[in-house]
Amino acid sequence: MAHYLNEVSRTFSEYLLIPGLTKKESIPTNVSLKTPLAKFKKGQNPPLELNIPFVSAIMQSVSDDNMAIALARNGGLSFIFGSQNISDQAEMVRKVKKFKAGFVVSDANLKPDNTLADVIALKEATGYSTIGITHDGTSNGKLLGLVTSRDYRPTRDAMDKKVAGFMTPFESLITGELGVSLNDANDIIWDNKLNCLPIIDRKQHLQYFVFRKDYDNHKEHPNELSDSNKKLLVGAGINTRDYRERVPELVNAGVDILCIDSSDGFSVWQKETIEFVKETYKGTVKIGAGNIVDSDGFNYLAEAGADFVKVGIGGGSICITREQKGIGRGQATAIIDVAKARDEYFKKHNVYIPICSDGGIVQDYHMVLALAMGADFLMMGRYFARFDESPTRKLMVGNRYVKEYWGEGSNRARNWQRYDYGGSENLKFEEGVDSYVPYAGKLRDNLDITLGKIRSTMCSCGAISIEELRQNAKITLVSSTSIVEGGAHDVILKDSNI
């Protein structure tokens, strides 16, 4: 006979937070949203932390290198989607690690005998307007000059004009010597009113660029998530099929943390994948696992060695696993149950394993509820898919702008490995849909509003840290009529266009 759980499976929409005492120090500027990303022992610091409790979903329509850069600059982390060939995914990771290191390796280089047409083509292909001109066209060739958008006029100059005829020659450049500190390099940029400082070795070979905009951007992004070398942090999704080939390439590219992407994480395939990573890299490479929805699943992955555990099945806006297979659990109930197991594991083993809530977020206040119920951080797809930085197309549909958004279980993604049970057959039915989400603009603008709401809500609960919120939050179930009461009602709303 099957085992029956008597408790009702509940969603975040069925709960509200009860205000706590708002103390004098309970103001938004005092709220810390720092949270652990990977497991750690009692009394020690986490090896990896987030500055805001957000990671972007392991999806084709959400997490590429552009999203990873934008989110890391604002304190979160992206797991670059794994449903692509290994070399392409590794290259996305590499781009993130190169983007903001203070000292940036040049990815756009030409030779003096190239033409203006080559310059324009390279700019369109890479998006870079600063091009290093080296003797062999490589990133570490002998530096002979520099080309920026100020050196040519594409509407007037001939396309066959040689680069040597309009580049700024080496003799006219101000350069820094390899070994110069980032502070000194920025001082040279500032003192000489430069936008870019090439860094060369003693043989005049190009090594790096230092850009003024990177200094300015760092000041504008105080929550930037970077490693000890000032490189942005980035994650990557993997599957339980080709991990022996994929993981080494991602590690070589500089990935900071991995996550097994699966709709069902309670499996021996995940255990074998975790064990391979742990044995191969002796614990130096961190790996999360999931998804699970109960204490049994958490304990299985914890014993397997997972550095964090992802919670949620069927709660995503484009996920139809529950509809197709009847498998899943209300996200609120799942988080509460798994958080209890996480805390019990910590008491028993003195090892804290963070949990990630994946799915079920409809309103911004649901994020606070998830954190209060025990989640350490949240993985979101729909939220990030709406922004300029997501990899999908922006379209006009029905007099409004939208962005494409599809699930990894849809035929469009063809990510059958995510639903793999070890056999040889591919996915025969869909567990995700192809859809649109309303276009919302830039990530930074929307994220600032969301984080402002979270900080304000935490202050109303008398908490200025996620840990304090978890310990002190008061949560109540609500009825269907009180949900209606919570929105605008019994009034005639003004037309927003008036």
The HSE-up count of residue 219 (CA atoms within 13 Å, CB side) is 5
Instruction: Confirm if 298 and 278 have CB atoms less than 8 A apart.
Output: no
DSSP 29: G
Instruction: Confirm if 38 and 308 have CB atoms less than 8 A apart.
Output: yes
In sequence order, the β-bridge partners of residue 132 are: 109, 146
**Can you tell me the distance from the alpha carbon of 78 to that of 234, in angstroms, rounded to the nearest whole number?**
6
Exposure string of 108-147, with b = 16+ CB inside 10 Å and e = fewer, is: bbbbbebbbebbeebbeeeebebbbbbeeeebbbbbbbbb
**Can you tell me the distance from the alpha carbon of 63 to that of 93, in angstroms, rounded to the nearest whole number?**
11
Q: 3-class secondary structure for 232-288?
A: ECCEEEECCCCHHHHHHHHHHHCCCEEEECCCCCCCHHHHHHHHHHHHHHCCCCEEE
Structure tokens at 59: 């999806």
End-to-end CA separation in angstroms for the chain = 62
User: β-strands 168-169, 176-177: how paired?
Assistant: unpaired
DSSP three-state, residue 339: helix
Nearest CA to 271 among 231, 236, 306, 233? 306
Question: At what angle are helices 268-281 and 243-253 packed, to 10 degrees?
Answer: 40
Q: Which residue has the tokens 């008491």?
A: 347
Radius of gyration of the chain (CA): 25
* Helix segments in 389-490, DSSP class H: 443-460, 466-472, 480-485
The HSE-up count of residue 129 (CA atoms within 13 Å, CB side) is 9
Q: What residues are annotated to the active site?
A: 319, 418
Contacts of 483 (CB under 8 A, 6+ apart): 13
| Own/partner long-range contacts of 136-141 (Cβ < 8 Å, ≥24 apart) | 136/111, 137/109, 137/110, 137/111, 138/109, 139/105, 139/106, 139/107, 139/109, 139/206, 140/205, 140/206, 140/207, 141/109, 141/205, 141/206
Q: Which residue has the tokens 């390899």?
A: 178
